[in-house]
Amino acid sequence: MKTKKRAPSRHAFRLLLSLGMIFVPASTWPCRAQETRTDEIERQRDEKAAHAQYDQPRKLEKDLFYIEDNHILERLTASYHGLNLRFGGLVQGSGFALGPEYNLRTPALLGSNLQVGAQFSTKLYQKYYVGWMAPKLLHDHFSFDFNGVHRNYSQIDYFGPGPRSLKSNRTDYRLEDTAVDAALGVKPVKHLQLGGSAGYLAVNVGPGQSNSYPSTDLVFAPSITPGIDHQTNFLRYGPYAQIDYLDNPAGPASGGLYTFEYTWYRDQKLNQSDFQRMDAEIQQYFGFFNKTRVIALRAKTTLTDANSGQTIPFYMQPILGGSDDLRGFLPFRFYDNNSLLLNAEYRWHVASVLDMALFADGGKVFPRRGELNFSHLQGDGGIGFRFNIKGTQFLRLDIAGSHEGFQFWFKFNDIFVRHPVGTASAQPIF
């Protein structure tokens, strides 16, 4: 107990002595007199050395290393060699979709990619596909694609035929098809691609699975909606041409993309639906203020011509409405034998990762090709938010309004989505 009482006194004395040393003029300190700048720096180093420790990365950095080292982002967003998880890629209205995809790329395939995958959505849409893509054969002068796909979409909307169909007549049907197509392209000069493709398509249509709307076959008779009762198989083939001088295909701000396709469809089963389909699309971009502002324009038409005594089934008719064309309307809002679509966007830079857009859409479907003009267009307008990384858009939020109400679109594609050319995409839903 006694020592405990004395100890504080000694400590207090030491404290007094220390304070005295500190506040007594420095010149009277024998050791301070010899202080140099070098000593001062050495003292700092002494202190640092006494507490030196390796800088451990923070948890977030460790997680990012894990993602990077295991190429997780690439496996989610790109077609990486091996097993990947693919998001989206199904038709609009399918709900959230994802599925496994296996990519095989070996030197033995000469730079081509063999792809096998399956996707499923929250609305139970299904898609199974296999592809062999060789986009740059013989020094990038030739390309070859082979695609096989089976789709089973349980509730595609249908509102009746023609431009005057009513929103209140909403129905849905199941679209099930299987297609095999091959395309061969040649690039004779820079910016130009010519090619031809051929394929086989088998279609089946069934009752829609929506609980909210009646099935199409219960509302529309085969006389109004040809093909609702019987579906057929097609042999299809045709040429295509494309001129592409976009400055940046992933986020164009200047240049143009012009595509022309002509496809013959030959009914292989019912001999009722032989027809021809012509697709033409012009995209043009005008950038100014160092491409921080862009006017983007698109004009697109699909014209069909059924052979004498033949009809075009409704499931092969051009369709308008939805996130990629008439954005102020419901998906698949208008069906008919022909279509015309016009889009205009003014896009401007807001931040490095965000562009905005004011847009206007106009379009119509029409039964006869002679009605290809600018009268009686359905119109809408809106505003968009485009999120991008290093000039490549990865997310689009568009809000559009029309006389039928407002639509909100949350999409992972460009509005002027660049479809592959060839028969594989020369159909309304693919």
Partner 1 sequence: MNNNLLKLALLLAVSIPVVAAEKFYADDPLQNEPRPRNAATVKPRKLNDYYDLLENSFKKRGERNTAKKTIRARDVNTLGEPMDGAWYTHRHYWNPMSDEQLQLGAGGKNPPSEAGPWTVVSAKLEGISPGFVMKDSKGDRYYVKFDPMSNPEMATGAEMIVARFLYALGYHVPDYYLIHFKADKLALGTDVKFRDSNGRERPMVQPDLDKLLTKIPQTADGGYRAIVSIQIEGKPVGPFKYFGTRGDDPNDVVPHEHRRELRALGVFAAWLDHNDSRSINTLDTLVQEGDVAYVRHHLMDFGSTLGSATVEAKTARFGGEYYLDFKSAPKQMVTLGLAVPYWAHARYPDYPAVGGFESATFRPDRWIPDYPNPSFVNRLPDDEFWAAKQVVAFTNDQIRAIVKVAQFSDPNAERYIADTLIARRDKIGRVYLTKVLPLDRFAVANGELVFHDLAKEYASEEKGPLHVTWSSFDNKTSQKAPIAAAQDFHIPGDDPGTSYLAAEIWRGDNKAKMITVYLRQTGAGTEVVGVDRAW
- Cβ closest to partner 1, residue 7 vs residue 224: 7
| Furthest CA-CA distance within the chain | 121
The binder of partner 1 chosen from 137, 192, 356, 377 (CB under 8 A) = 356
Report if residue 2 touches partner 1, rule: CB under 8 A. Answer: no
Nearest in space to 326 (alpha carbons), one of 341, 313, 339, 316: 341
Any contact of residue 218 with partner 1 (CB under 8 A)? Answer: no
The interface region with partner 1, picked from 67-75, 123-131, 153-161, 420-428 by CB under 8 A, is: 67-75
CB of 375 to partner 1, least distance (A): 30
Give me the least distance between CB of 101 and partner 1, in Å please. Answer: 13
Binds partner 1 (CB under 8 A): choice among 77, 98, 102, 105: 105
The candidate with the shortest Cα–Cα distance to 133, out of 152, 156, 112, is 112
Q: With binding defined as CB under 8 A, does residue 107 bind partner 1?
A: yes
Total residues contacting partner 1 by CB under 8 A comes to 64
In the block, which residue shows the tokens 């088998």? Answer: 202
Residues 129, 115 contacting (CB under 8 angstroms): yes
**Residues of span 116-175 touching partner 1 by CB under 8 A:** 139
Give the whole-angstrom CA distance, residue 98 versus residue 353: 25
Amino acid at 283: Q
Question: Which SS3 state, helix, strand or coil, does residue 315 take?
Answer: helix
Q: How far, in Å, are 152, 320, 324, 344, 388 from residue 355 at the CA level? A: 35, 26, 18, 15, 8
CA distances to 22, 339, 354, 422 from 343, in Å: 79, 13, 21, 23
Determine if 23 is a binding residue for partner 1 (CB under 8 A).
yes
- CA distances for 179 relative to 118, 197, 410, 414, angstroms: 15, 13, 29, 25
Residue 83 makes contact with partner 1 by CB under 8 A: no
Residue that has been written with the tokens 């096989």 in this structure: 148
Tokens of 133: 């893509």
Binding window for partner 1 (CB under 8 A); candidates: 8-16, 117-125, 163-171, 412-420: 8-16
With respect to partner 1, which residue has the nearer C-beta, 109 or 221?
Answer: 109
9 contacts partner 1 (rule: CB under 8 A): yes
Select the span of 198-206, 257-265, 343-351, 362-370 touching partner 1 (CB under 8 A): 343-351
User: Which is nearest to 76 in space by CA: 106, 101, 113?
Assistant: 101
Residues numbered 255 to 294 that lie near partner 1 (CB under 8 A) are 289-293
Which of residues 349, 397, 401, 404 is near partner 1 by CB under 8 A? 349
Is residue 82 at the binding interface for partner 1, with CB under 8 A as the rule?
yes
Q: Which of 1, 3, 8, 212 binds partner 1 (CB under 8 A)?
A: 8
Question: Per-residue x/- mask for partner 1, residues 85 to 104, rule CB under 8 A?
Answer: ------------------x-
Closest among 226, 237, 371 to 310, alpha carbons compared: 226
Question: CB of residue 200 vs partner 1: minimum separation in angstroms?
Answer: 30
353 CB-side CA count, 13 A: 3
Closest CA to 118 of 146, 148, 94, 98: 98
Residue 67 phi/psi, 5-degree rounding, is -60, -40
Nearest approach, Cβ of 185 to partner 1 (angstroms)?
19
The residues of the shown chain that bind partner 1, judged by CB under 8 A, are 8-9, 12-13, 15-16, 19-20, 23-27, 32, 35-42, 44-45, 47-49, 52-55, 57-58, 60-61, 64-65, 68, 71, 74-75, 80-82, 103, 105, 107, 139, 289-293, 346, 348-354, 356, 358, 391
